[in-house]
Amino acid sequence: MKKLKLYLSLISFMCVNSVMFAQVGVNTDSPVATLDVVASNTGATTAEGLIAPRLTGDQLASKNAQYAAAQDGAVVYVTAAATAPAGKTINLTTIGYYYYKATADNGAGANSGLWIPITGTKKLQFYMPSVVLPIEEDALPDATNYTYSAGVFTVKLFDIYKSQYGTPKVKSATAAALTVAATSADMDYFVLYYDPLVYTSVSVSAAGVLSYSVVANYTTSEKTFMNIMFKEK
């Protein structure tokens, strides 16, 4: 009977403690959240704060296989850019905090996962790098990013941008890699200006593909160009 009472007492103690520790406090006996950390000293003699796991970009890249749906929302501090950013670590081009988004597309398909920099709320927007916009069907710069069919030209703006930013022709010796969006779905696309005396039926898709036709008997001038802008979502 005494043993039964002892077992019941132990079970009761464990249950009470599991409730007590539903919220954890550091330097406080009265936590008000899942984890409540109170400064141990508000004076000038100690440093206060939380430190996330610190890894280089290459160290984090070596752990790619360990990050899946269960790690969604994980936070790390990257102490050095990845040597060859790609896949899940394609954004690891600068020092700073990053969080893991398991549902993101890193270029390998839906839910392939991506480390995303933790920055302010301001979204990046910039002009499209210089790009050739052909007006003759037999003058396409290449067959990969350009097409012509039934009077309509198409230009893969996002793919050209990704190639130009990812593999610049020249850079300064100490320059880090440029940050490049993983997929076309990460951007919105805008045509701010085009020459209406040459281009017509201008449109741009959500995938970053520009389409246009050419006016009959057009005449080119110094105004024959387009201004195209990308905006981060």
CB contact at 8 A, 184 and 208: yes
Assess whether 170 and 226 both reside in one domain.
Answer: yes
- Residue found by looking up tokens 């320059």 in the block: 175
How many CB atoms are located within 10 Å of the residue 97 CB?
A: 13
Q: Given 75, 95, 117, which residue is the final one in a domain?
A: 117
Assess if residue 70 is contained within a domain.
yes
Domain count across the chain: 2
Confidence (pLDDT) at 21: 58
Pick the closest to residue 136 from 229, 208, 224, 227 (CA basis).
224
Those residues whose C-beta lies under 8 Å from the C-beta of residue 30, and which sit 6 or more positions away, are none
68-120: pLDDT as tens digits = 999 999 999 999 999 998 899 988 988 999 999 999 888 888 899 999 998 76
Assess if residue 202 is contained within a domain.
yes
Report, as an integer, the average pLDDT of 176-192: 88
- The pTM for the full model equals 0.56
H helical segments located in the chain: 2-20, 57-61, 157-166
Those residues whose C-beta lies under 8 Å from the C-beta of residue 138, and which sit 6 or more positions away, are none
CB contact at 8 A, 226 and 143: no
Assess whether 151 and 94 both reside in one domain.
Answer: no
Look up the domain containing 69 and give its range.
54-117
Assess whether 226 and 139 both reside in one domain.
Answer: yes
Confidence (pLDDT) at 154: 98
Write out the two tokens for 223.
Answer: 């105004």
